[in-house]
Structure 1
Amino acid sequence: MVGYKVGIILSHPIQYYSPWFRYLSKQLDIEVFYAHNQSSIDNASSGFKTEFQWDIDLFDGYKYRWLNNIARKPGINSFFGCDTPEIDEIIKRSKFDAFLVCGWNYKAYIQAIIASKKNNVPVIIRGDSNLISGRSHIINIARFIPYRILLPLIDAYLYVGKLNKEYLLYYGVDQKKIFFSPHFIDNELFTRSAQEAIDSGRAADLRGELGISNDSFVFLFAGKLLERKRPQDFIMAFMELINKRDDNKIHAIIAGDGPLRRELELLSKRHSSCIHFLGFCNQSKMPAIYKSSNILVLPSIFGETWGLVVNEAFACGIPAIVSDRCGCAPDLIDEGVTGFTFKAGDRDSLCEIMSLARDCYHARNFVEPLGAKLKNYSLEKASIGFLEALGATHNKG
């Protein structure tokens, strides 16, 4: 594969993609094109509420370029927020062997696809859409005919998990064009950072600061405080658990910020001694937060095409309780082994699963199965799939 020249377009710098670009740049001549330069204010408006920049290096180790975004309202919250017509001329003159497009949910992505097809550059698409994460059945039906016509025209697809593969097959993509390139995080970095959080005492210190004893059991919600992520279901199921068990050794940590925060704080006011709001937590802080917890809860009801916080938790040795509307559930959750699933929106079911997790946690060895699971959801596996797709679009390799 050495010698391939590959262009990649991504809406904006994403902390999960940067390690992959660094890894690929050691094997290929890649150049990444970013459609939008996300400011601290943009980050706040995308659901985080807090203005911030990621505290890890997103740009070291690979070639990248900022495109000129001419959108009337630049941003990543709408299809028209990324509009970069100059990609046409770039693809025309750059003689790429292939072009990787990370979805089709922005105008800039469609512009890159059209430019590549026009210049006979093979197009590889890596998205994570599925049929269950929130689109209504009517919308899926309405898209059926146009998608069945358009999607098979792409040269190759990378699927990130089982539901994403089902989506592509549903819309008529040839099985031979589909390659497994799973959703992943930098497993090694998170595992190492989690161990450092234990060794340095940072995880224990966090518990101490929150008034959580060493023998207490901690449920963690990590993410934006948005309606679709249903943090209120997490809190209400947790409060129901307290009432049922009369257990003063259970706590809930909410690591994240968003428009629902004030409402959630009021909701949990009666149990403020055991429900702890940390606000927005940057990437480098998360391993210590995972290690101060016992299990992650991801109760999203729509729009959760995957849920990479589950990968993060696994890399830190923490199992997860995941709703059945999260894209990662069929791939990552082996019931009772790596975690548990429940019906999205069913707080009673979530409460029961949380109680079960509390009871069986110390009797089960979650760490080894979590590590084994992540071997198939790694940077290396994602790269293998991409290289296979790249080879399939050419006679060489």
Structure 2
Amino acid sequence: MMPLELLIITPYPIHYQMPVFERLAETREIHVLFLRQARGASGYDWEFGKKVDFGIRKIGFGNSLALPTTRDEKSESQLSAEQLRRALAVIRAIVRLRPKAVYVHGFAGLPEVAALLTCRLTGIPTLLRSVSYDLGERSRLRSGLRKVLYPPILSLATRIGYIGWHNRAFFLNHGVKPHRLRYVPHGVDNASFDTDPEPDEELDMVARRKFTFVFVGKLIDKKAPDLLLRAFRAMPDRDTAMLAIVGSGAMKGDLQRYAEQEDLDVDFFDFLAQRQLAALLGRCDCLVLPSRYQETWGLVVNEALASGLPVIVSDRVGCAPDLVMGKTGYVFASDSVESLVQAMDSMRRQGPKSDYRDRTKMVVDSYSASAIAEALSSVVGELLVMEGSMA
């Protein structure tokens, strides 16, 4: 059996990864191993609190395999029998396929660590990529454990791909030397959002002569939709603006009651598939992502920028220094109503999004699926040279 050029090991099929893998397959012989079936394959996502359709299209590249999922994702521990089964499956796949290089996405689970360790022991060069960052960690114990556990795991990878400023700082803070780091951007399929919205009676209601802010995400504490509602209530000249909130989650009922009690002009939408979301973003004027913690990047910002929208994000959003600061909108102090009000009022006073459109497109073009695939292919080429020298 001839050695495979690249084995990709990633948690599960994710809609924004598919275009990247498809483009990568145009220049590299790849095989993708998904550690579990598509998130929501059973139809239920516990953070959204409902059945959702992530719109994952049929895979259009090479060979792929998704390991069967037998447990609920929320209840599964990192040292469970399910994790051990996946780790053994990963080891068997590496031994059977004999790839020249391996790209591992993430390192917090036993299967990913098993992949890195197996490759180190068998002399296969690896690229590790993760969206981890250090902002807003609320547990001192967890932070301390990371300082102990992460450096030896990260040392197993030949090269580490970082997605932006905060992600690079994370790796440096955990003992990774700069010469092992390679920049690999993070993004979505921009073309899916760079479209003129088609007529839609329900969505057309959003664009009714007012400056429209939009929030997209899970309605849970870390995303801070409650902070956004309080800031919207406190905005000067609030009657000239409206707010669209897209998503589901544990806080939805409370948010709807607050909006009704305060007589706020807010439209609530359930989870929207990618095509519907693109249509809604095309009708809005500014995205707001007010996250309190654990917003390692914020891909919805990429989606908004690809739609031509300026953005307002908290300083806990990982992509802030890369995509937003001084470029496409405002960064406000997390959990500060006053800071968010100031940013929203400044954005509203600037008027329609057309003033930002060219700027947002120029910024997000370098985070396209093609740009990501090109960066990955470049690092893979470097690994293949190493593999050749070790053979």
**Candidates 342, 347, 371, aligned match of 1:357:** 347
**Candidates 193, 197, 201, aligned match of 2:199:** 201
Letter in 2 for 1:287: A
In the alignment, which residue of structure 2 is the partner of 1:36? 36
CA contact (8 A) 1:56 1:283 kept: no
- How many residue pairs match? The answer is 380
In the alignment, which residue of structure 2 is the partner of 1:261? 252
2:214 aligned with 1:220: yes
2:146 aligned with 1:143: yes
2:266 aligned with 1:275: yes
> Bigger shift: 276-285 or 304-313?
276-285
Offset at 1:382? 1.7
In the alignment, which residue of structure 2 is the partner of 1:160? 163
Letter in 2 for 1:382: I
> Bigger shift: 260-269 or 50-59?
50-59
Show structure 2 runs of 5+ residues with no match.
none
* TM-score, normalised with respect to structure 1: 0.88
CA contact (8 A) 1:79 1:105 kept: no
Offset at 1:286? 0.7
When the two chains are superposed, the root-mean-square deviation of aligned CA atoms in Å is: 2.4
Offset at 1:188? 1.8
**Candidates 297, 314, 322, aligned match of 1:331:** 322
In the alignment, which residue of structure 2 is the partner of 1:177? 180
> Bigger shift: 250-259 or 112-121?
112-121
**Candidates 228, 233, 238, aligned match of 1:234:** 228
CA contact (8 A) 1:230 1:299 kept: yes
**Alpha-carbon displacement from aligned partner over 1:224-264 (angstroms, at most 9, x marks no partner):** 111100000011111111xx32x422110001111111111
Change (3 A) 1:153 1:109: closer
> Bigger shift: 266-275 or 344-353?
266-275
Equivalence map 1:303-314=2 (5 Å): 303-314=294-305
Alpha-carbon distance in 1 for matches of 2:182, 2:156: 16
* TM-score, normalised with respect to structure 2: 0.90
Offset at 1:65? 0.5
Letter in 2 for 1:183: H
Show structure 1 runs of 5+ residues with no match.
none
Secondary structure at the residue paired with 2:160? strand
Change (3 A) 1:82 1:295: farther
Secondary structure at the residue paired with 1:248? helix
Letter in 1 for 2:67: L
In the alignment, which residue of structure 2 is the partner of 1:252? 243
2:286 aligned with 1:295: yes
> Bigger shift: 139-148 or 350-359?
139-148
**Candidates 95, 98, 106, aligned match of 1:95:** 98
Letter in 2 for 1:233: L
Change (3 A) 1:351 1:270: same
